């Protein structure tokens, strides 16, 4: 019996280690939103997000641990960065494939309020925006290129996302071949587009559009925001939804960065 128990433990440890290594493959940033100081830390890639009118009082119990609650009036997170993702991994939007995932809990009835966005400072043209949908409980996807041409025009999810309960969202895009997962299920809305232009993005924001001043403030809670420079499979989406992203190997990754 003891030998069987030890063998089972070894198999579980091997499985967990393999899962952890696989799921952090091409992970760029992970913001659990479990704590804040002058910023909210990216525990994997070092892309800490600056707080705008947010403090530790906005940390409240969430889906797994703490989450950040946004008041819908003047609170958001933001980071300006190079438009060349080789430097920091941002912007995450890329024709080479990327994934954005997070837990969200918010009320319906919000008009075009940003949950996650990437755009261009000083411009309102190029924009990738995941937002609320015109007073309905759906997620809205919008994409516009440098010339102002709209590639995804406010296409809503079919599944409810904003209904005062927690939902896990994963948005995947591989050169215009898109998939939206809501609670691990593929949403039936069609988001595919033909990418044949330039999109230059140099800021990332959460809870609002990074403008001067900020705009489209989201009301609700967000937790476990993560981005990958690859498209996750549906099984991986479901694994992250169920198990989260292991922090142990992330710590090793950061220590490796410090050595360099």
Answer whether 29's CB lies under 8 Å from 100's CB. Answer: no
pLDDT in tens, 90-112: 999 987 899 999 999 999 999 99
Average pLDDT over residues 17-42: 85
With left for phi above 0 and alpha for psi between -120 and 50, is residue 183 left, alpha or beta?
left
Give 5's pLDDT tier (boundaries 50, 70, 90): very low
Distance in angstroms (rounded) separating the CA atoms of residues 235 and 188:
17
Provide the strand spans (E) within the chain. Answer: 27-31, 39-40, 49-52, 59-61, 66-71, 76-80, 98-105, 114-119, 127-133, 136-144, 150-156, 167-174, 177-182, 185-186, 203-206, 219-228
Three-state secondary structure call for residue 80 = strand
- Rounded to an integer, what distance in angstroms lies between the CA atom of residue 71 and that of residue 87? 32
* Paired strand residues for 142: 129
CB 72 within 8 A of CB 215: no
pLDDT for residue 155 is more than 70: yes
pLDDT attached to residue 22: 86
Q: Over range 189-201, report the average pLDDT.
A: 93
Handedness of CA 83, 88, 90, 95 (dihedral sign): positive
- 247-256 per-position pLDDT tens digit: 755 554 443 3
Cα 108 vs. chain centroid, distance in angstroms? 20
Q: Pick the more confident residue, 256 or 221.
A: 221
Q: Above 80 in pLDDT, residue 231?
A: yes
Q: What is the pLDDT of residue 95?
A: 76
**Residues 150-170, mean pLDDT to the nearest whole number:** 98
Confidence tier at 20 by pLDDT (50, 70, 90): low
- For residues 144-171, give the mean pLDDT: 97
Round to whole Å and give the CA distance between 61 and 83. 35
Which residue segments constitute the domains of the chain, with CATH numbers given?
27-244 (2.60.120.200)
Q: Counting every residue, how long is the chain?
A: 260
φ/ψ (deg, to 5) at 181: -110, 130
For the beta carbon of residue 49, count every other beta carbon within 10 angstroms.
24
pLDDT in tens, 35-57: 898 899 999 999 999 999 999 99
Per-residue model confidence (pLDDT) at position 248: 54
The average pLDDT across 65-87 equals 96
In whole angstroms, give the CA distance from residue 80 to residue 90: 9
pLDDT at 67 over 60: yes
The structure tokens listed for 13 are 């440890």
- Is residue 87 over pLDDT 50? yes
Share of the chain above pLDDT 70, in %: 87
Its sign, for the CA torsion 88, 50, 244, 256, is positive
pLDDT tens by residue, 203-218: 999 999 998 889 999 9
Mean pLDDT (the chain, rounded): 88
State mean pLDDT over 218-224: 98
- pTM of structure: 0.89
């Amino acid at each position: 019996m003891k030998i069987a128990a030890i063998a089972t433990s070894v198999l579980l440890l091997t499985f967990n280690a393999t899962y952890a290594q696989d799921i952090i493959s091409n992970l760029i940033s992970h913001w659990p939103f479990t704590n804040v100081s002058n910023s909210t830390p990216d525990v994997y890639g070092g892309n800490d997000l600056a707080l705008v009118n947010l403090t530790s009082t906005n940390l409240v119990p969430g889906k797994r641990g703490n989450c950040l609650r946004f008041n819908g009036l003047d609170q958001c997170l933001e980071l300006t960065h190079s438009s060349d993702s080789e430097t920091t991994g941002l912007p995450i939007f890329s024709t080479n494939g990327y994934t954005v995932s997070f837990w969200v809990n918010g009320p319906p009835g919000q008009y075009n309020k940003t949950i996650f966005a990437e755009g261009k400072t000083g411009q309102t043209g190029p924009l990738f925006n995941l937002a609320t949908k015109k007073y309905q409980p759906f997620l809205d996807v919008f994409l516009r290129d440098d010339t102002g041409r709209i590639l995804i025009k406010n296409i809503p999810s079919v599944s409810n996302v904003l209904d005062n309960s927690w939902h896990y969202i994963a948005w995947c895009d591989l050169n215009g071949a898109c998939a939206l997962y809501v609670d691990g299920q593929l949403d039936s809305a069609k988001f595919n587009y033909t990418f044949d232009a330039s999109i230059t993005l140099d800021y990332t924001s959460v809870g609002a559009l990074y403008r001067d001043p900020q705009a489209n403030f989201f009301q609700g809670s967000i937790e476990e925001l993560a981005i990958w420079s690859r498209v996750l499979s549906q099984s991986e989406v479901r694994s992250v939804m169920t198990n989260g992203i292991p922090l142990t190997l992330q710590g090793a990754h950061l220590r490796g960065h410090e050595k360099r």
